[in-house]
C-alpha cells in the first residue's frame, strides 16, 4: 500500500525510534486486515518490510494509526460489503466455472429433492447414474408414491444409506396424501416430511423456487468455518453457522448462489482447499490467519468397532433361501442370506453357529456345510467380516417359505434389492448360470 501523506506530528515523534519497533507497531496495527486478523499477514509484513526504508515505515505506521482510529467505523461500513461480495463473487465464479451436473439443468422441485437426498454422504460421480436411472423410472412424486418399497429399493441398491430411500418413499406418499402430490413451498411443511431437514428444505426451496433460505450441509459448514476462522467443532457452533449462512445470502439469484456454494465446497474449498484460485480469498479469515487447512475442527473420532458375522447360503436344488430385513433399522427392507453376528466364544466354531442359524431361519438343518467366501465391509459406525457358508438342505418338494424367508430360484436373485455385502454373494450364485446361457442365434 502506498504510504499516505504523513501528518507531521507522529512522524516527528517517531524519529529516532529503531526500525524494529516500527515493524512491531506495524504488525500490531489493523493495517493488514480490517478484520483485525494480523497473524498471517503479520509474518508477511515482516518479511516484505525488512529492508524497506524507515521513512516508508513511518508512513505505514502513521497510516495504521489513522486506520486504528477509524477502524470500528470502517468495519461497520465494510462488513455488509464483504458479505455481499462473497455471494457476488461465488455466483460469478459458478457461472463461469461451475460443473454442469444433471440436476443443475432443471427447476423441477421433485428432481432437485431427489438430487439433494442422493447427494447426502455420497460423491457426485457415484450419484449421477443412480439419479438418471431413478428419475427415468420414477419421474414424479406420484410414480414414486405408487411404487412398492421393494421396487424403490431395487433402484437405490448399492447407493447405501438406505434410510434415505425409505424416507423418500414415505415422504412421497405423504405429499400425495397431504399436498396433492406437489412438493410443498413452505419451510414448515417440507420439514414435517420424513427425511427432510432444514438444510435439505432450504436447498429445495432456494433452487426450485428462488426463495431466500440458507443451507448448512457438510460443504457449507466447512466453508463457513474457514471463511470466518471458527476454531471450534461445527456441531458446537451450529446456531452461529446458520446465522453466517443466512447473512451471506444474496438479495437475488438465491437459487444460483445455493448451487454455487455447494459446488464451491465440493471443488475449491474442499478437504484440501485450492486457496490460490479461490474467488473469495481476499475476505477469508482462515486464509489470512493461515489456519484454513486445520478447519473445520473435527470432533475426537471414536474407534470404529469390528464384528464378525456368518451367513448361510441355504440351497435345496436350484432354490436358495433369502430373507427380508425388518423395514425399520439398519438396511431395512433389503434382502439378505440368513446371517448372524457371532461373539468371541462362537468364533471358534462357526460351522455350528451357521447350522443353528440356518435351522432357526428356514426350519431346515443343513446336512452339508462348506466355506464359500469371506467378505469385509465397512459401515459408517462399524466394520464387518462376513464368513459365508454354502449349506445344503434336504426337503421333500418345495421348501416352505416363512413370513420373512423366501425360497427363490438362484437365477432370480437379481430381482431382489440386496445390501452391498450380500449382493456379492448373489453375484457369485448367478454368475455361472449367466455365463453358460446359450447365445441367441444370429
Ligand atoms: S481462501 Fe481457501 S479456505 Fe478460504 S474460502 Fe477460499 S478456498 Fe476456502
280 alpha carbon to ligand 1 midpoint, in Å? 7
Atom of ligand 1 nearest to the CA of 273: 7
Q: Which domains, and CATH codes, for the chain? A: 8-78 (no CATH), 102-294 (1.10.340.30), 306-435 (3.90.79.10)
Residue 201 phi/psi, 5-degree rounding, is -60, -40
Q: ω into residue 44 within 30 of 0, thus cis?
A: no
| Residue 93 Cβ < 6 Å to ligand 1 | no
Lowest mean pLDDT among 7-21, 70-84, 159-173: 7-21
Residue that wins the pLDDT comparison between 361 and 187? 187
Atom of ligand 1 nearest to the CA of 281: 1
Is residue 25 predicted with pLDDT exceeding 50? no
What pLDDT does 70 receive?
Answer: 55
Pocket test for ligand 1, best of 292, 293, 295, 296 (most atoms within 8 A of CB): 292
What pLDDT does 246 receive?
Answer: 94
What pLDDT does 28 receive?
Answer: 40
251 alpha carbon to ligand 1 midpoint, in Å? 23
Distance between CA atoms of residues 328 and 319, nearest Å: 28
Using pLDDT thresholds of 50, 70 and 90, give the confidence band for residue 34.
very low
Atom of ligand 1 nearest to the CA of 274: 7
What pLDDT does 75 receive?
Answer: 52
| Residue 284 Cβ < 6 Å to ligand 1 | yes
Distance between CA atoms of residues 172 and 178, nearest Å: 10
Contact 37, 288 (CB under 8 A): yes
Name the average pLDDT for the chain: 83
Using pLDDT thresholds of 50, 70 and 90, give the confidence band for residue 383.
very high
Is residue 36 predicted with pLDDT exceeding 80? no
Lowest mean pLDDT among 104-113, 158-167, 230-239, 320-329: 320-329
| Residue-wise pLDDT tens digits, 340-372 | 899 888 888 889 999 999 998 888 899 999 999
Distance between CA atoms of residues 231 and 237, nearest Å: 10
What pLDDT does 405 receive?
Answer: 87
What pLDDT does 400 receive?
Answer: 77
Is residue 397 predicted with pLDDT exceeding 80? no
Up-side HSE of residue 83: CA atoms within 13 Å toward CB?
14
The closest residue, in CA terms, to atom 2 on ligand 1 is 275
Using pLDDT thresholds of 50, 70 and 90, give the confidence band for residue 26.
very low
Is residue 404 predicted with pLDDT exceeding 90? no
**Percent of the chain surpassing pLDDT 70:** 79
Distance between CA atoms of residues 243 and 290, nearest Å: 24
Distance between CA atoms of residues 232 and 108, nearest Å: 37
Residue 401 phi/psi, 5-degree rounding, is -90, 150
Residue that wins the pLDDT comparison between 49 and 204? 204
What pLDDT does 105 receive?
Answer: 86
The closest residue, in CA terms, to atom 8 on ligand 1 is 269
113 alpha carbon to ligand 1 midpoint, in Å? 28
- Rounded to two decimals, the pTM is 0.73
202 alpha carbon to ligand 1 midpoint, in Å? 23
What pLDDT does 203 receive?
Answer: 96
| Residue 286 Cβ < 6 Å to ligand 1 | yes
Is residue 245 predicted with pLDDT exceeding 60? yes
| Residue 269 Cβ < 6 Å to ligand 1 | yes
Residues carrying an active site annotation = 116
Distance between CA atoms of residues 325 and 405, nearest Å: 9
| Residue 288 Cβ < 6 Å to ligand 1 | no
Pocket test for ligand 1, best of 263, 264, 269, 283 (most atoms within 8 A of CB): 269
Distance between CA atoms of residues 226 and 243, nearest Å: 15
Pocket test for ligand 1, best of 260, 275, 279 (most atoms within 8 A of CB): 275
235 alpha carbon to ligand 1 midpoint, in Å? 20
**Percent of the chain surpassing pLDDT 90:** 60
Beta bridge partners of 324: 335
What pLDDT does 228 receive?
Answer: 93
| Residue-wise pLDDT tens digits, 127-168 | 999 999 999 999 999 999 999 999 999 999 999 899 999 999
| Residue 353 Cβ < 6 Å to ligand 1 | no
* Number of C-beta neighbours around residue 370 at 10 A: 11
| Residue 264 Cβ < 6 Å to ligand 1 | no
How far the first Cα of the chain sits from its last, in Å, is 78
Average pLDDT value for residue range 257-284:
94
| Residue 226 Cβ < 6 Å to ligand 1 | yes
Pocket test for ligand 1, best of 97, 262, 281 (most atoms within 8 A of CB): 281
Is residue 247 predicted with pLDDT exceeding 70? yes
Which residue has cell 479461490?
278
| Residue 40 Cβ < 6 Å to ligand 1 | no
Is residue 115 predicted with pLDDT exceeding 70? yes
What pLDDT does 13 receive?
Answer: 52
| H or E element that contains 396 | none
Atom of ligand 1 nearest to the CA of 295: 3
Is residue 76 predicted with pLDDT exceeding 90? no
Lowest mean pLDDT among 4-13, 123-132, 265-274: 4-13
Using pLDDT thresholds of 50, 70 and 90, give the confidence band for residue 321.
very high
Amino acid at each position: 500500500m502506498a504510504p499516505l501523506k504523513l501528518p507531521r506530528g507522529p512522524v516527528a515523534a517517531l524519529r529516532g525510534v529503531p526500525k524494529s519497533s516500527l515493524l512491531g507497531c506495524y504488525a500490531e496495527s489493523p493495517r493488514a486486515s480490517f478484520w483485525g486478523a494480523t497473524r498471517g499477514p503479520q509474518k508477511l509484513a515482516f518479511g516484505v518490510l525488512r529492508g524497506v526504508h524507515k521513512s516508508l515505515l513511518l508512513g505505514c505506521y502513521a497510516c495504521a494509526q489513522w486506520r486504528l482510529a477509524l477502524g470500528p467505523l470502517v468495519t461497520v461500513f465494510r462488513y455488509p460489503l464483504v458479505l455481499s461480495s462473497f455471494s457476488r463473487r461465488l455466483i460469478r465464479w459458478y457461472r463461469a466455472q461451475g460443473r454442469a451436473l444433471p440436476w443443475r439443468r432443471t427447476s423441477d422441485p421433485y428432481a432437485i429433492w431427489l438430487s439433494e437426498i442422493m447427494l447426502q454422504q455420497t460423491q457426485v460421480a457415484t450419484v449421477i447414474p443412480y439419479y438418471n436411472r431413478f428419475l427415468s423410472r420414477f419421474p414424479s412424486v406420484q410414480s414414486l408414491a405408487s411404487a412398492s418399497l421393494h421396487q424403490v429399493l431395487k433402484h437405490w441398491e448399492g447407493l447405501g444409506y438406505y434410510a434415505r430411500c425409505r424416507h423418500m418413499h414415505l415422504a412421497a406418499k405423504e405429499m400425495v396424501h397431504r399436498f396433492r402430490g406437489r412438493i410443498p413451498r413452505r419451510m414448515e411443511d417440507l420439514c414435517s416430511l420424513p427425511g427432510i431437514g432444514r438444510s435439505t428444505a432450504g436447498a429445495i426451496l432456494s433452487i426450485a423456487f428462488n426463495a431466500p433460505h440458507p443451507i448448512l450441509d457438510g460443504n457449507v459448514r466447512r466453508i463457513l468455518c474457514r471463511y470466518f476462522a471458527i476454531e471450534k467443532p461445527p456441531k458446537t457452533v451450529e446456531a452461529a453457522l446458520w446465522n453466517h449462512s443466512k447473512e451471506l445470502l444474496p438479495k437475488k439469484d438465491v437459487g444460483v448462489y445455493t448451487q454455487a456454494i455447494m459446488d464451491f465446497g465440493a471443488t475449491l474449498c474442499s478437504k484440501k482447499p485450492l486457496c490460490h484460485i479461490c474467488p473469495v480469498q481476499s475476505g477469508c479469515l482462515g486464509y489470512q490467519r493461515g489456519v484454513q487447512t486445520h478447519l473445520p475442527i473435527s470432533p475426537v473420532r471414536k474407534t470404529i468397532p469390528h464384528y464378525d458375522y456368518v451367513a448361510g447360503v441355504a440351497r435345496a436344488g436350484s432354490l436358495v433361501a433369502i430373507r427380508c430385513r425388518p423395514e425399520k433399522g439398519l438396511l431395512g427392507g433389503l434382502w439378505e442370506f440368513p446371517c448372524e453376528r457371532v461373539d468371541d466364544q462362537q468364533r471358534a466354531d462357526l460351522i455350528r453357529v451357521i447350522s443353528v442359524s440356518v435351522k432357526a431361519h428356514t426350519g431346515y438343518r443343513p446336512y452339508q456345510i462348506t466355506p464359500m467366501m469371506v467378505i469385509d465391509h465397512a459401515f459408517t459406525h462399524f466394520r464387518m467380516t462376513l464368513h459365508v457358508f454354502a449349506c445344503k438342505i434336504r426337503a421333500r418338494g418345495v421348501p416352505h417359505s416363512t413370513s420373512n424367508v423366501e425360497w427363490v430360484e438362484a437365477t432370480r436373485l437379481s430381482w431382489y434389492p440386496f445390501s452391498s455385502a450380500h449382493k456379492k454373494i448373489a453375484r457369485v450364485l448367478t454368475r455361472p448360470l449367466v455365463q453358460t446361457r446359450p447365445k441367441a442365434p444370429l
